[in-house]
Amino acid sequence: MKASSIKRPSSRARRRPGSQVSLAEHVYESFKRDIISGVYKPGEALSENILGKRYATSRTPVREAAVRLERENLVRIVPKKGYFVKLISVSELNELYEYRALIECGAAELAAAKNHDADLLQELASAAAVKYEVGNRASYARFIEADTAFHVGIARLAGNQLLIDAVADLRAHMERILYAAINVGDYSEVLTREHAAICDAIKKRDRDAARTLMLGHVMKSREKLLQLM
């Protein structure tokens, strides 16, 4: 998952609420969610037959979904052997976090500099406050969802669509890593405090503090995950 290979999916892939979803899009979204949430493990081999049965479809939508996920660096296609869930090496994890630090520190600084939308700020504060219970997968899934809302919310406050897209695309890889780290320990209180501090710096329009706090947050997250590898 090298920084240079983290590709932004087409905006067409982001469907609007209430829009109809084609079979191919449904298979793609379901396949991607299963990789991210750990239904399929890193390195696991998957055949078109297995995937077709799971998603109740023919081979063609499965093949189309796999090609898209290969572009997003979540799947590796090996001709005549099938599909393999991408592994994440230590070097790739480090590169991902370097890229994340550049993008998200910039987003936090820009969010602090912009005029603020009160509703967006409230959404950010609500997402920042979500915690999880150790051993409770459902609460951990809710935390991951809120964590994504928090980080994407900062990019939304920055008011830059390119940043929003970049952070949103990064979250697919981050959610996958977070699901894999479900048993790493109880960091709920620490993470919510870090989120609250970043949120407070943005509210106070303190650009330097917002950038510095986000950098510390990202780097601490990397150190925790490196303990697993």
pLDDT digits (tens, 9 = 90+) for 119-165: 999 999 999 999 998 888 899 999 999 999 999 999 999 999 999 99
Same domain, 58 and 94: no
Phi, psi of 88 (to 5 degrees): -120, 115
Same domain, 106 and 204: yes
Note the Cα 76 to chain centre separation in Å: 19
Could you give the CA distance from residue 159 to residue 19 in angstroms, rounded to a whole number?
25
* Residue 9 placed within a domain: no
Residues 76 and 132 in one domain: no
Q: What is the DSSP letter of 45?
A: E
Phi–psi pair at 28, nearest 5 degrees: -60, -50
| Together in a domain, 215 and 124 | yes
Contact 225, 185 (CB under 8 A): no
Residue in this structure with the two tokens 């939304």, named with its chain if needed:
156
pLDDT by position in tens, the chain (length 229): 333 333 333 333 344 434 446 889 999 999 999 999 999 999 999 999 999 999 999 999 999 999 999 999 999 999 989 999 999 888 989 999 999 999 999 999 999 999 788 999 999 999 999 999 888 889 999 999 999 999 999 999 999 999 999 999 999 999 998 898 776 667 888 999 999 999 999 999 999 999 999 999 999 999 888 876 6
Indicate which CATH number applies to the domain containing 103. 1.20.120.530
Q: Which domain holds residue 123?
A: 90-226
